[in-house]
Amino acid sequence: MRKSYREFAPGQLNTPWDVAHRQILKRKDSMGGTDCEMERGVNFFIKTIESLGGTTFFSCEGHDAPRNPDTFYVMFSLPLDKTILLANASDGLARIELVCNEHHPESKWVIRLVGCGFSYQWRTAYLRELSVNWAKIKSTP
């Protein structure tokens, strides 16, 4: 039976995702090199990937939410062993895919949410729960 979105990180508004969501995060645009403010829904994931030595290229917190929250993604580069740690910690909430094609000739990874439904509440619940899982990696030597 599927959990209700209210069961993910119940009553918590202070998950690692929430803390990062309240912050303004600026990075260089990977295409033009200009400073830009990241969408707050990806802040935690960008900071975690960077803390593991990775680089992020593109991201989206889920445009047109609440109509299409499944469009959340972060494209990044990170060594395979650390990417496997993130995948294992994702616990079925997200999948990490290898991207390598004519548009991205160097291998990159993309994280996407898995089956979070089509509501802002589900997307937010998944991101909160995923951040709790990923934060355990950051605190592990």
Could you read off the pLDDT of 63-74 as tens digits, one per residue? 654 556 567 889
pLDDT the model gives residue 20 = 95
The structure's pTM equals 0.82
Task: Specify the 3-state DSSP secondary structure of 130.
Answer: helix
DSSP 47-106: HHHHHTT-EEEEEES-TTTTT-GGG-EEEEE--HHHHHHHHHHTTTSEEEEEEEETTEEE
Any idea which residue has 């291998």 for tokens?
Answer: 107
The closest alpha carbon to 111, from 31, 57, 37, belongs to: 57
Work out the pLDDT band at 30, boundaries 50, 70, 90. confident
Mean pLDDT of 21-47: 90
Average pLDDT, the chain: 81
Q: Is the pLDDT of residue 131 over 70?
A: yes
Q: Is the pLDDT of residue 116 over 70?
A: no
The closest alpha carbon to 91, from 67, 108, 113, belongs to: 113
Work out the pLDDT band at 5, boundaries 50, 70, 90. very low
- Contacts of 119 by beta carbon, 8 Å cutoff, 6+ apart: 5, 66, 69
Is the four-CA dihedral 48, 41, 8, 65 of positive or negative sign? negative
Is the four-CA dihedral 16, 38, 72, 97 of positive or negative sign? negative
pLDDT the model gives residue 1 = 40
Work out the pLDDT band at 11, boundaries 50, 70, 90. low
